[in-house]
Amino acid sequence: MRVIVVGSGLGGLLTAIEASDAGAEVLLATKGALAEANTTHAQGGVAAALWSDDSVAAHVADTLAAGAGLCDRSAVEVLCAEGPDRVRELIALGVRFDRDHGGAGAGLARGLEAAHSAPRIVHAGGDATGAEIERALIGAVSERGGLVRQGRTSSGESSSGAAHVLRNSRRVTVREHTALAELVVDDGRVVGVELADGTIEFADAVVLATGGAGQLYAHTTNPAVATGDGVAAAWRAGAELADTEFYQFHPTALAAPGSFLISEAVRGEGAVLRNARGERFMLDIHPDAELAPRDVVARGIAVEMAAQGGRPVVLDATALGASVLARRFPTIDAATRAAGFDWAREPIPVTPAAHYWMGGIATGPSGRTSLPGLWAVGECASTGVHGANRLASNSLLEAAVFAHRAARDLLAASAPDGRVARSAYRDPSSPGRGLDTPPPAATRPPGTEAEGFSRGALQELMWEFAGVQRSGEGLAHAASVLSTWNATDLEDRNLLDLARVVVDAALAREESRGAHYRTDFPSPRPELARRRLTSREGAPAC
């Protein structure tokens, strides 16, 4: 059986490892360098009920509460019940989580983050959990396969022809700097991928693990590669998307170029938010103050910033002391100092930033999408576990749990003869990329854009009208502007497609729930407490 995995974060790497170990031949393609993924930037950790004073039931309850009535309970129960085993699997694959030298929970250190009823966050390198997971899983993939560099590196230099295959090469081939362009569809089934260099690769199963689309917004904690490529390609192929209006804005990104993430774990350790008058304003907004759910804290900060002329609020971690900050948060400590701040001596300015997409490609409990032959894992998938607002540190957990399940499922679902049909005619007018269908043509001559369009303009439009707070009037304006724009660059085209999807879904949900806040509909409506599915082939359906 041949499997194509697109994306090299935790979800993609773990799927490749498990499918390979079960006997599949795997092609792992990634747009940038192998470690250039959202996972690398994850700081806080992985949530799991590993300690005797915690329970799966408590983790389920916390996840459901954060999800604001929109979680799929069965998916949440899978996530929390299987989470401890996935953490143990990561340890077996070489992830070096921080230890507490003899405490409960098999010696693992643990932290507390917002909206968790108990400390259950395992972390690595203090605040470098994602980087450590990437290091270990890249090592595991390297043991199972080879590395083929193609296309262009992040510096713009051509890397075609620079190939290296390890001596112990078995069943995994990795192609870096190889972007996804479209999915290849044969008679309603995904049978391969078209890559940005024009080549087509076929497989029995395709797994998208391409992450989120933080580059939709002017302020984001996501890396530059987070342009929603997999979700956009799936949308164009006719796959169902779910809950696309729910984009989570992390409350605390450093208010400096780059929007560096200041982990929620910092507040979990005791840091507090203050306005320009030095007041802890979150005390008046929620009983849990700085440790309220992310949507509550992000909106609280946005309101306070508006009241003080747009100036950032500050995060005050000075009470923790220089030694604690440097030891517990070495990555953040270095980043704040590089930006010119000494956070051990003075509060640092922070602002909300786009962080995580709860919406994405609709999947079942084993990663299957609405298109046969296509699975999705990680942030590009919408499993229903996060509902309207993701609980802190459930993202890496979701990637691990559902990557494991997807790998098992796709192997069980492989064709009896292990082959995929590779020639068929498909109506070019139907969604997706048929085997004999030319690539989609731009609506304008190549190299031209609609008047007023640029990625920066798109990001500012989304930030202002489809950001932390929204209104029907603002969303309608954004939809009108988006309808006049056209993009020819692949990443820009993906972002423009997804911006329209997000805005349309936000307009349709006439309530406020979780990360989706409408100033013209400030309260939740019980009759709308359900997931929203939409596909390119038909009108959005609730």
For 92, other C-beta atoms within 10 Å of its C-beta total: 10
Residue 177's pLDDT band (boundaries 50, 70, 90)? Answer: very high
Q: Are residues 230 and 93 located together in one domain of the fold? A: yes
Listed residue (511, 454, 505) closest to 475, CA to CA: 505
Radius of gyration of the chain (CA): 22
Distance of alpha carbon 14 from alpha carbon 20, whole angstroms:
10
Mean pLDDT of the chain: 88
Residue 415's pLDDT is 52
Residue 422 pLDDT > 50, yes or no? no
Residue 449's pLDDT band (boundaries 50, 70, 90)? Answer: low
- The DSSP element (H or E) to which 433 belongs, if any, is strand 433-434
3-state secondary structure of 238: coil
CATH number for the domain spanning 448: value is 1.20.58.100
Q: Are residues 152 and 12 located together in one domain of the fold? A: yes
Residue 443's pLDDT band (boundaries 50, 70, 90)? Answer: very low
Q: Are residues 378 and 261 located together in one domain of the fold? A: no
Total domains in the chain come to: 3
Residue 158's pLDDT band (boundaries 50, 70, 90)? Answer: very low
Domain end position, chosen among 395, 412, 429: 412
Residue 432 lies in a domain: no
3-state secondary structure of 8: coil
Residue 240 pLDDT > 60, yes or no? yes
Identify residue 244 by its one-letter amino acid code.
T
Task: Spell out the alpha helix ranges (H) of 206-261.
Answer: 229-237
Best mean pLDDT range from 164-173, 381-390, 429-438: 381-390
Residue 326 pLDDT > 80, yes or no? yes
CATH number for the domain spanning 317: value is 3.90.700.10
Burial classification of residue 40, based on how many CB atoms lie within 10 Å of its CB (0-12 exposed, 13-18 middle, 19 or more buried): buried
Residue 425 lies in a domain: no
Residue 286 lies in a domain: yes
Distance of alpha carbon 297 from alpha carbon 290, whole angstroms:
7
Residue 44's pLDDT band (boundaries 50, 70, 90)? Answer: confident
Range of the domain at 58: 2-245+358-412
Average pLDDT over residues 410-420: 65
Distance of alpha carbon 45 from alpha carbon 122, whole angstroms:
5
Average pLDDT over residues 28-56: 94
Angle between helices 73-92 and 56-66 (to 10 degrees): 120
3-state secondary structure of 441: coil
Q: Are residues 166 and 307 located together in one domain of the fold? A: no
Residue 367 lies in a domain: yes
Return the ∠ at Cα 376 (arms to 370 and 380), rounded to 5°: 110
Q: Exposed e or buried b for every residue in 376-412, given b needs 16+ CB within 10 A?
A: bbbbbbbbbbbbbbbbbbbbbbbbbbbbbbbbebbbe
Residue 424 lies in a domain: no
Q: Are residues 377 and 453 located together in one domain of the fold? A: no
Residue 56 lies in a domain: yes
Q: Are residues 228 and 322 located together in one domain of the fold? A: no
Residue 341 pLDDT > 50, yes or no? yes
Q: Are residues 347 and 219 located together in one domain of the fold? A: no
Q: Are residues 239 and 371 located together in one domain of the fold? A: yes
Domain end position, chosen among 323, 355, 387: 355
3-state secondary structure of 344: coil
Residue 538 lies in a domain: no
Residue 537's pLDDT is 64
Of 6-20, 418-432, 448-462, the poorest mean pLDDT is in 418-432
Catalytically active residues are: 294
Q: Are residues 374 and 317 located together in one domain of the fold? A: no
Residue 428's pLDDT band (boundaries 50, 70, 90)? Answer: very low
Residue 147's pLDDT band (boundaries 50, 70, 90)? Answer: low
- pTM comes to 0.88
Distance of alpha carbon 437 from alpha carbon 429, whole angstroms:
9
Residue 170's pLDDT is 58
Residue 157 pLDDT > 50, yes or no? no
Of 35-49, 116-130, 133-147, 437-451, the poorest mean pLDDT is in 437-451
CATH number for the domain spanning 402: value is 3.50.50.60
Q: Are residues 366 and 333 located together in one domain of the fold? A: no
Domain end position, chosen among 313, 338, 355: 355
Identify residue 455 by its one-letter amino acid code.
R
Average pLDDT over residues 285-310: 93
Residue 243's pLDDT is 96
Average pLDDT over residues 72-89: 98
Residue 100's pLDDT is 85
Angle between helices 129-144 and 10-21 (to 10 degrees): 30
Of 435 and 95, which is predicted with more confidence?
95
Residue 294's pLDDT band (boundaries 50, 70, 90)? Answer: confident
Average pLDDT over residues 239-268: 94
Residue 169 pLDDT > 90, yes or no? no
Distance of alpha carbon 440 from alpha carbon 248, whole angstroms:
31
Of 159-173, 208-222, 417-431, the poorest mean pLDDT is in 417-431
pLDDT tens track for 218-232: 999 999 999 999 999
Q: Are residues 379 and 497 located together in one domain of the fold? A: no
Residue 312 lies in a domain: yes
Distance of alpha carbon 149 from alpha carbon 166, whole angstroms:
13
Q: Are residues 312 and 390 located together in one domain of the fold? A: no
Residue 448 pLDDT > 80, yes or no? no
Residue 171's pLDDT is 84
